[in-house]
Every structure is written in structure tokens, then in C-alpha cells.
Amino acid sequence: MTLLEKVQALPNSPGVYIMKNSQGKVIYVGKAVSLKNRVKSYFQTKRFDSAKTRALVKNIADLEYILTDNELEALILECNLIKKHRPKYNISLKDDKTYPYLKITAEDYPRVLVTRKVYKDGARYFGPYTSATTLRETLELLKKLFPFRSCNQKSFTNERPCLNFHINRCLAPCKGKISKEEYQEIIRQVILFLEGKQEDIIIKLEKDMEKSAANLEFERAAQLRDQINGIKQIIEKQKIVSDIHVEQDVIAMARGFNEVCVQVFFIRGGKLIGRENYFLSGTDESERGEILNSFLKQYYMEQDFVPKEILVETEISEAKVLEKWLSQKKGSRVYIKVPKRGERKELVDLVGKNALEALQKAELEKQQKKAMTEDAVMELQKELGLPKPPLRIECFDISNTQGKESVASMVVFEGGKPKKDQYRRFKIKTVEGPNDFSSMYEVISRRFRNAREEKQEAGKEGKFSKLPDLVIVDGGKGQLSAARKAMTEQGYAYIPTYGLAEKEELLFAEGIEDPIILPRDSKSLYLLMRVRDEAHRFAITYHRSLRGKRNLASILDDIPGVGEKRRQNLLKHFGSFKKIFEASIEELAQVKGVNQKVAETIYEYLHTHQDLLARMKSEKVQ
């Protein structure tokens, strides 16, 4: 069946239509009260169609549809499909998958965590937060105000309370010092705080404080008093922006070139408790109402909490069905309003001004970033007299401790930006002792030998087949000489190569006696320093990881009753040192060859060496 035949055969019913290109990729998702009428309208030539619509129609090769019982079901399905497929021609909330959330876990004793993924796991999610700094500050504030646990404990009996218990940051559910019901009440207060209902928390805490005082529980009453004072200080800092004591989200936007910044003010009890900026792409030629319509669907799809009132700057076509959907999500009536005058209108205007300021700031940051990346690449070509712009730069660094665990890193920058998925790391195999020159020769040889072998295998696209326009080695003439020797032997002597000495930031080139000194304030020098520092960081991280694993392995050998066989069984059972540290006595006893007594010995030994766990965390040992 041809595409036009499929269009003609569409039913006159509500549903969602899915448009695909010739490769079968979803390029647009839409909903309609009448699928037939809506989809047919795309193929009727209209003089005033936007360039975006014309490009969409030109690329449609196939069409699918899903019927729904009503428009509300179609809207929910549309939101889910847009989130899943990220179609090219839909307005898209940029990079929302990378925005962090606060997660309250669905456990008997819930934790409050930062996460970048949202699952249907019964947990409560708050966000997304576009600023990771704001999120961290929020989490630290919550930890000060509410004594919820921050550990990863899975068992809650016979555990030794951690330091947080002794500094009143946790009530030690691990030791059974608080009931499940009491702990859940603390979590309810955290949720109220995140929803902006601080006054409700204070009322509850004041009642608890009076009750504790009446029962002569003065220490508990004092703790509650301090908690109340802390929350009151937060409330005093929040700006009063409205006399209307209704939960409100106020939303307005500012337009740039094919990009929009939408700002949301969160107003609870007449006070501004927070705000976030969101950027949408694919907005060129779209009406303001269409953009806000798309934003509301994508934004509230991810929100657990929906306010009673949503104020927007302009009329949106799907307001009624959105209200119905959001009311269903909230469990009570939700209103989407476009204020024309008065206090609500002033609020929307204020948010619009802030959105414009945020957009201008973002555009300025883009210009500065461009100067430090693309402009720096062009400047580097000019300064070094390179035959072409060094769009792909590879930098190599060696790391060891007195010749032990010698490793090397290869980092890649493309267009002046790190390309982390193409970073590579090497264990030095042929060099004994601290010999950076020989180590550099080995690594460069392996890198370009792999490139040559992959090139010889017709059609193979391997890890090393993409060649650099410029090679930088960390070090001076000795490292450079070793690198050039290796590249010549492998047939890649034509690639420009320089050594970058760290102390004076001097560049060394083969066959040139004097070093090249780039201007101290130049973007090109700054780029090379970034590349070199990144290679150094990557090499050090890998070296620490290997060193940490070696040290921890030797510690397992030091535990009484743990020999080579039991050590191997422990590693095989848990898969990593970190999981052995986190295991309970019961879990350790399940390992082959480990009885209850040995399990207790292992647990006691590891947990009297708390510095080990701190080291594991700092070195990210797996």
C-alpha cells in the first residue's frame, strides 16, 4: 500500500499518528481528534506552510497510527511516544534526559538521592533540575533539616550506627532506634518541603515539640525547636511575590534563533520557592502558543507534583485537554490561565523578563565557548603553520609510581571539545622501571600499528582507524623523539607532532632546536593546555584504579582465615571489592568456602578499616 493510500484509509477517529522517513526512523508524532482529517491536511498544498512543515512532508516515507478512545488518551500516548523516539520535527525539550532529579526511594526506610533516570519503581521524583549546583544545595539543606539516612544499608538489625547518628544527622534505623512509621513521617515532611508546603511542616513540628515537652522529653523537644527555626529561616529568605495563596507554576518564554528559553517560577503560598530554565530546540517558525503547548506536555509528563494553577503568557490550542489530563494526574482540578491584567499578569511578565535574561546569558556563554573551541583550533593552525585545521587532536601521557603500574592515556579533542567516547588507555607491557621515553614509544607504536592493521582490513571501522590531524605528547624532546620514531616506523610520520613541556608550557617540534612559545593569553595555548591536562587526568585516574585494586587485593590476603582460594571465591561471588565492603555478614556467609565465623572475621576486619572505603570512593575502584 502506498503512502497516499494509507492516508486515504485512515479512520475518522481519535488517535496518534507516527510519521517515518525512508530509513524507518520516526520523524514526527502527533495526535488528532480525527486522524483522517489531520493527516490529510499535511498533503494538501498550502501556500503559507512553514519551511519546517514542507521539509517534514518531503521526508515522510511511511505512516503508522494508533487508535485511542478519546483525545485525552491520545495526548498521553503522544507524550510517551515523543519522549521515546525524540522525533526530528517535533519541538523538543533539549537534553531533558540528562537533567538530574531528586528521588525518594520506595523502601521501608527511604533515601533521598540524586538521579538522572526516572523509572516506574514506586519512588517519588522531584525535578528535573537544570542546575546541578542548585540540586546539590537543595539536598544538603534537606540533610540539615531532616534526619533521613544517606547510607546504602539493606539490613536494619545489629548494625553499628555511623557518624551521622552521632552528629544528629540520622536516627539510625540500622540499629532499630526509630520505627518504620516514625521514619516515614520524616519522609512525608521532606515531600511537603519539596512541594513548598513549609508552613504545614511547621504546624506539625510545633505540635510534636509541645507533646515532647509535656512528656519531659526535653532533648527531643530541643531538636524539633532547632528544626522549626531552620525551616523558618528558609521561609524568610523566600520572596513574597503574590497575595494569592494558591499553588502556582508561572511559565513564560523568550525566543532566540531556532531556540527558546522557557522559565518556570514555582510559587507556593504566595512565595517564590524556586525557578528553573528549560531550552527547547526545533522551534523556528513555530507559534508561541504551539511552543508552550509542547513544553507543557513534555514538562508535566516528568513531574510528580502538579500545582492547582498554571499561568502562561499566551493562549494554547490544547488547554482544555491539558487541563483534563493534569487534573487526572493531580487528583483534583487544575486550571491553565492566561492572565490579562492584575497581579497574575505582572507575575507572567516578570517570568518573561527572567527568561529573556537567561536566554541572553546562554547565548553569551555559547559565544565564549565557541571562542575557546572552534576559534582556538583555527588560531592553532595559524600559530603552528599546519597544512589544515587540527580538527582532531590526540594527546598521550604516561603515569607510574617508581615504574610500577605504568599506564598511558590517549585523549581525543574534536573541534576543540573532548570526545570522551574515543579516549583510550594502555597498560605498559614491554618496559621495566620508570622509563617515560620507552613507554611513550610503546604506546604510540601500539596506537598507530592498530590503525595500520585496521586500515588493511577492508571496510573495517575499528577503535583506532580514525587518524588525528595533530598529535601532542606530554613532555619535552625525549618523549617527542620516542613518539616520532614510533610514528615513522608505522608509516605515519606525516602527521604533525609536538611535545608540550609542562613547567614553561613550551612546544617542541622535531628538527627545531628552539622551543615554540605561544602567546600566554592565546586561545590556542589554552586549548593545548586543556588537552594535555585532560590526558594527565585520565592517565592518573587509570593508574590510581589499578593501584587501588592491587592494594585492596593484598588487604584481603591479610585477613585471618582468608587464603588464595577464599579470596578468589569472594571476588567471583561479588564481582568487585566495593561490593565485598558493602556485604553483610549473612551475605558473606553465602560465599563458597566461607562459614559464619570466617564471614564475621571478614566483616569485622573490613569495617575496622574505614579508611579503605574512603579510598575506594575517592579512586572509584570497582
- The stretch 258-276 carries a mean pLDDT of 85
- The stretch 97-106 carries a mean pLDDT of 78
Residue 460, pLDDT score: 62
> Strand, helix or coil at 256?
strand
Could you give the CA distance from residue 288 to residue 253 in angstroms, rounded to a whole number? 8
User: What percent of the chain shows pLDDT beyond 70?
Assistant: 88
Do residues 93 and 298 touch, judged by C-beta distance below 8 A? Answer: yes
| pTM, rounded to two decimals | 0.61
Architecture of domain 3-89: 3-Layer(aba) Sandwich (3.40)
pLDDT digits (tens, 9 = 90+) for 193-247: 878 777 778 888 888 888 888 888 787 788 778 778 877 776 666 566 666 778 8
- The stretch 35-57 carries a mean pLDDT of 81
Q: Is the pLDDT of residue 43 over 70?
A: yes
Q: Is the pLDDT of residue 403 over 60?
A: no
Domain ranges of the chain: 3-89, 98-196, 248-370, 378-537, 559-619
- The stretch 479-489 carries a mean pLDDT of 94
Q: How confident is the model at residue 513 (pLDDT cuts 50, 70, 90)?
A: confident
Q: How confident is the model at residue 616 (pLDDT cuts 50, 70, 90)?
A: very low
Sign, CA dihedral 251-255-257-258, equals positive
Do residues 390 and 470 touch, judged by C-beta distance below 8 A? Answer: yes
User: What percent of the chain shows pLDDT beyond 90?
Assistant: 31
C-alpha cell at 410: 590517549
Strands 15-20 and 62-67: antiparallel
The reply to whether 559-619 shares the fold of 3-89 is no
Architecture of domain 378-537: 2-Layer Sandwich (3.30)
Arithmetic mean of pLDDT over the chain:
83
Could you give the CA distance from residue 528 to residue 185 in angstroms, rounded to a whole number? 54
Residue 349, pLDDT score: 92
Higher pLDDT, 527 or 48: 527
Could you give the CA distance from residue 36 to residue 56 in angstroms, rounded to a whole number? 18
Residue 597, pLDDT score: 84
Read off the amino acid at residue 243: D
Residue 159, pLDDT score: 60
Residue 617, pLDDT score: 46
Residue 619, pLDDT score: 43
Topology adopted by domain 559-619: DNA polymerase; domain 1 (1.10.150)
Report the range of poorest mean pLDDT among 2-11, 320-329, 457-466, 506-515: 457-466
Sign, CA dihedral 536-537-542-543, equals positive
Residue 618, pLDDT score: 45
Residues pairing with 427 in the sheet:
407
- The stretch 422-451 carries a mean pLDDT of 88
Could you give the CA distance from residue 356 to residue 296 in angstroms, rounded to a whole number? 19
Q: Is the pLDDT of residue 413 over 80?
A: yes
- C-alpha distances in angstroms, 108 versus 115, 153, 155, 180, 188? 19, 12, 11, 7, 13
Domain 248-370 CATH (choose: 2.60.200, 3.30.420, 1.10.1760, 3.40.1710): 3.30.420
Residues 6+ apart with CB under 8 A from 43: 4, 7, 57
Q: Is the pLDDT of residue 91 over 50?
A: yes
Write phi, then psi, for 347 (nearest 5 degrees).
Answer: -65, -45
Residue 122, pLDDT score: 83
